[in-house]
Structures are given as C-alpha cells and as structure tokens.
Chain A
Amino acid sequence: DAGVIQSPRHEVTEMGQEVTLRCKPISGHDYLFWYRQTMMRGLELLIYFNNNVPIDDSGMPEDRFSAKMPNASFSTLKIQPSEPRDSAVYFCASSFDAGEQFFGPGTRLTVL
C-alpha cells in the first residue's frame, strides 16, 4: 500500500483565497482524521470521519473551515476565505477501527 497520500505538499496563497487540501486514506481504513500542526499549539485534531461520516468537528476553528468525505478513498479540507493565521502544516491520518493511526506527509500551507 502507498500509505496515506496528501496533496498538494506545499501551498502558498494570498489572504482571502480559497484553499482545498486533499487526502487519500489507506485502503480498508474506516477512520480518517484531519490535524493541524503549528509551533505554538502543537498537533490539534480538527475533525474525524468514520465510514465517510463526520463524527466530531469540534476542533474546526471557524466556519471558514469545512471538510468532506464523499467516498472511502477521498477527503477534502477547505478553507474559505483563508487568513495568515491559518498558516500551518495540515496532516491527514487514517486507521482501522480507530486503532493505530498512519499519517500522510502533510501539506504545508502558507497564507500571505
């Protein structure tokens, strides 16, 4: 298996623009997690899905953030409009039955 795949690996955008981050989980995994990592706050859980259904989005910072999982092999995290304080590394992780988590390489987002 190729592991968790994320795209793009790097994204530079201007304030106010829409940003879409993509994730392909490991085949057969039924849980998908979106995290954000910053120097100040460390690794924070934003939202997680079980069988494509959002279970807990309490970590999503604002209404500007939204996430979808239209099928078992694809998820998106969208920020609209983006702000400089959204600059961070965004990770997607997947697991089977919420057991051992496997992380993707991350997307480094810079909002100017």
Chain B
Amino acid sequence: KQEVTQIPAALSVPEGENLVLNCSFTDSAIYNLQWFRQDPGKGLTSLLLIQSSQREQTSGRLNASLDKSSGRSTLYIAASQPGDSATYLCAVRTSGTYKYIFGTGTRLKVLA
C-alpha cells in the first residue's frame, strides 16, 4: 500500500531564501507525481506534474525532481516571496492504478 510522507510539516523562512520541500513515498512503482499548492480556505492549484520517466520539471521559480529508486521527490523554490506562503502537497499515482495518494503537506510561511 502506497504511503506518502512530507517532512517538515511546517517551515518558516525569511524572504529571498531558496528552499526545498520533501516528499517521500514507499512504493517506487509510480506512474507520476504531482505537486500542489493550497491557500487557506481554497482549493488545490496544480504546480507541476512529473512523469515516472522524468527526472525533473521546471516552472518559473519552481523545480521538482524525482528519484524513484529512493522514493523521493523534492520541490525547490528559488528566491522565496511572501506570496509563496501556502501549504504544499504532493500526490503520487502508483502504476496500475488511477488513484492519487496525497501527503499531509508542508505549511510554508515566507516572512517579509
């Protein structure tokens, strides 16, 4: 059974810092992995989708990497801004299923 873990649960950094959010999964036979952002009281916004055949994906200041063998993905945020403050969730789709299993998220606060 796939389990997805995100550590730390919360993170507070000063504006301008580069930071890394972690996502770990127990079953390396994944189809893809998706990173989301959730603002308080809002829905989830898709940030990046990374296929199992890819090592990384980039969008603006965001870069997601995937290492299936170690069961890890990282989301790198460059030059963080207060507007990046939100909860970041990763979701894993295991091969052979159409279900996504979500991590519990990392709550990020970027201080001005």
Contact = CB atoms under 8 A, between A and B. Distances in A.
Interface majority SS (helix, strand, loop, mixed), chain B: strand
Contacts of B36: 103
30 contacts: A33-B100, A42-B102, A42-B103, A42-B105, A43-B91, A43-B102, A44-B102, A45-B99, A48-B98, A48-B99, A50-B98, A55-B98, A56-B98, A91-B44, A98-B93, A99-B32, A99-B49, A100-B34, A100-B46, A101-B34, A101-B91, A101-B100, A102-B46, A103-B36, A103-B43, A103-B45, A103-B46, A105-B42, A106-B42, A106-B43
Interface of B: 32, 34, 36, 42-46, 49, 89, 91, 93, 98-105
A43 B4 CA distance: 12
A48 B91 CA distance: 15
B99 A43 contact: no
Contacts of A44: 102
A13 B51 CA distance: 42
A104 interface: yes
